[in-house]
Chain A
Amino acid sequence: MLESRATVGPYWERPLPDDEHLARQVEHGREELLMLDARPPAELNQLTLARMRQTGPRFWMAVAGLGVLTLAFFTAWAIQIVSGLGITGLNRSVMWGPYIANLIYFIGIGHAGTFISAALRLMRMDFRRPIARAAETITLFGLACAALFPIIHVGRIWKLFYMMPIPNQRELWPNFRSALFWDMMAITTYLIGSTLFMFVALIPDFAMARDHTTGWRRKVYGALSLGWRGTDAEWHRLEVVSNILSFVIIPVMFSVHTGVSWNLSMAIQPGWHSAIFGPFFVVGALYSGVAAVILVMIVIRKTMRYGYFMREEHFNAMGIFLLILTLSWIYFYFAEWITNWYGNLPMEKAIQAMLTGPLAPLFYLMLFCNIVVPLGTLWSRRVRTSLPAMFVIGILVQVGMYVERVLIVAGSLSRNELSFNWVNYTPHWPEVTVTVGTLAFLGLLYMVFTRFVPIIPVWEVYEGQAMQETRRVGRAVVSTRTEVH
């Protein structure tokens, strides 16, 4: 490596202005904003790969803990397969319970990933740069875990292949008129699309990892990077395919959770048969998804020492996003509530009576977690940039959104037109074990993933840093952004 004798250096060696006042502003900007704080990629690459190469004892303790819970989950599932679904709390009126609520929940938290990496990319929002892949990983594993739930909740797993359109000698095909089939199509499309999108953006980072590792790691990353060199032709094609995939996957993302909500609203069950479920669930998904991304950001930042990449500005932006989603969720929930309340139809009144009556603790818990806490706190920048506060808010939003789904799925089913058939639902140990275990499984998959795959899309960070600068306007220094495309 030769010493450069050039007068203009690389983009990460921009000198400070001579004027002290301006220089201080530039330094302040560099402290605050990631995009202004360009450092040599050599250093940042090492930082990214550092925690991927070494794991401390706390990592293994976490793996052990999550592994035990995952094992409990699979054991509970195995027992359920052998004994039959009778060990759950489901009954002849409430035939869908937490397993379906889990399906909705896990697909839901995955939506933020696509929104952040695809929609924010198309909208050219820079704060997505360090967090896009972390969010997409939630999508990937959230979908994978969600896909387990149709298998868990079905009565005859060994015949589940009937639902797949495989040619067979009996010439029987699945029923495309069923909302469950639309779900299957939509989730498959979304899973494949997300994986492709994530993989395409990973290629340059695998190339970076290939160039900075040795041994078996180098071989694996080399294979995964497909021989990427970063030529202008390769980049051009990458940008275009990312645009195409972004454009296609955003409607697909909407359709997936709409499809999942249509599992409910296609039924004539009171409390379910509502046209607003489509958009309502999509907004709810984004809501719980963004909160999940915030949680993951906090954990990754701490455990993988990515404080350079994830700064206050990112948590602030995500906090504002979360607040917007809180307001949207409140709007949809209120619209649903007031429609049912005002119409006074007996069935919907019965369901609302149940929510405010026997199920009141859960109902008010949901309202507290989804409305009171976020609305009361996210207005303040101090809260949005305080990691402990955001962690708590993130957890509460997860709890609130989960309770909301369970109330809709299991709550509504216990009330229907013939009051002789009103049967309440109580969860039993399999549902609890499976739910907790699946969360642990998701966490475990995520943890292992972050040690093998660079969870920060560093090339996007460098792209932003290379294209952003500061400029002097009057006595102040402002940051500029260049539109490159």
Chain B
Amino acid sequence: MAEEHNNGHKWTMIVDVDKCTGCQACVVACHAENNVPVSSEDEVIRGRAMHWIRIERYWEGEYPDVKARFLPVFCQQCGNAPCEPVCPVYASYHSTQENINIQVYNRCVGTRYCGNNCPYRVRIFNYWAPRFDAPLEQQLNPDVTVRSPGVMEKCTFCIQRIRRGREQAKIEGRPLEDGEIVPACAQACPTDALIFGDKWDENSRVAQMVPSERQFKLLENLGTEPAVYYLKGGEAHVGE
């Protein structure tokens, strides 16, 4: 069922791959904002790196003509999310206000079906109790739950910032302005490669950038209807 254009918002992220340098500032910012624990080297080798946003790096060609391509991948907040119908306890559902995919930590029992069904593999499972070595536990964001072992988590488009922005606008009795809500990754990006906004607001940056010639969606043929648009034109190679 297509998302209905209601009184809510259609939060959308635009990733300008041509501008992304692969600096991973977004990754660090996300860890800091969302209380994502840092995985040890052993865990990463075992394939358990916990990143809500990650820079996928693909090498092309043979030395000395090697080219690297960067792709920031995070939860695409699919309109037709394959992770939602498979959760037996409704821990993963579609918000009709923000039109993104919500993960409810205290409802999750940890069957991990959603993680299997995500073609982007952006869903992270807490195999261990998240560890924050001192003094990092003093740095935790009080707006975001610290998860327990056995629950799934993923990028939420910094929903805590979205909610706070909406509350603030409501208290002040005015509509939300474009650019008022910025997720941590977009805020940290030095090249402005991540642009966030409400697609249903015609004046927003994202609404104006969406109909671009360079636009594509990740794994669009699967029909998941992601809320993330990637922009890439020509040959965006590093060091060229």
In the complex, A touching B, CB below 8 Å? yes
Number of A-B contacts (CB under 8 A): 140
Q: Which residues of B contact A154 (CB under 8 A)?
A: 109-111, 150
Closest A residue by C-beta to B91: A162
B126-134, B172-180, B183-191, B200-208 - interface stretch: B126-134
Q: How many residues of A contact B (CB 8 A)?
A: 45
| Most B C-beta atoms less than 10 A away, residue of A92, A177, A184, A420 | A92
Q: Across the interface, do A178 and B86 meet the contact criterion of CB distance under 8 Å? A: yes
Does any Cβ of B come within 8 Å of A226's Cβ?
no
- Besides the contacts A175-B87, A417-B219, A421-B121, what 14 more A-B pairs have beta carbons closer than 8 Å? A153-B111, A154-B109, A155-B152, A156-B149, A156-B150, A172-B89, A175-B88, A178-B88, A180-B111, A417-B222, A418-B121, A418-B218, A420-B56, A424-B47
Q: Across the interface, do B109 and A160 meet the contact criterion of CB distance under 8 Å? A: yes
For B204-240 the 0/1 string (1 means CB < 8 A from A) is 0000000000000011001000000000000000000
Chain B residues within 8 Å of A, Cβ to Cβ: 43, 46-50, 54, 56-58, 71, 73, 82, 85-90, 107-113, 115-117, 119-121, 124-129, 148-152, 218-219, 222
Q: Across the interface, do B82 and A91 meet the contact criterion of CB distance under 8 Å? A: no
Does any Cβ of B come within 8 Å of A181's Cβ?
yes
Q: With A162-B107, A418-B56, A420-B56 known to touch, is A177 a contact of B85 (CB < 8 Å)?
A: yes
Q: How far is the CB of A304 from chain B (nearest CB, A)?
A: 41
Q: Which residues of A contact B151 (CB under 8 A)?
A: 155-156
Q: Across the interface, do B86 and A179 meet the contact criterion of CB distance under 8 Å? A: yes
Q: How far is the CB of B213 from chain A (nearest CB, A)?
A: 24
Q: Across the interface, do B119 and A416 meet the contact criterion of CB distance under 8 Å? A: yes
Q: How far is the CB of B43 from chain A (nearest CB, A)?
A: 8
Q: Across the interface, do B126 and A418 meet the contact criterion of CB distance under 8 Å? A: no
Q: With A91-B46, A92-B47, A418-B120 known to touch, is A155 a contact of B88 (CB < 8 Å)?
A: no
- Mostly, the A contact residues are loop
For A296-316 the 0/1 string (1 means CB < 8 A from B) is 000000000000000000000
- Mostly, the B contact residues are loop
Q: Which residue of B58, B150, B222 is within 8 Å of A85 (Cβ)?
A: B150
Q: Which residue of B48, B50, B57 is within 8 Å of A420 (Cβ)?
A: B57
Q: Across the interface, do B119 and A174 meet the contact criterion of CB distance under 8 Å? A: no
Q: How far is the CB of A374 from chain B (nearest CB, A)?
A: 32
Q: Across the interface, do A175 and B149 meet the contact criterion of CB distance under 8 Å? A: no
Q: Across the interface, do A269 and B219 meet the contact criterion of CB distance under 8 Å? A: no
Does any Cβ of B come within 8 Å of A101's Cβ?
no
* Cβ < 8 Å to B, chain A residues 86-105: 86, 88-96
Q: Across the interface, do B57 and A180 meet the contact criterion of CB distance under 8 Å? A: no
Q: With A84-B149, A416-B121 known to touch, is A155 a contact of B112 (CB < 8 Å)?
A: yes
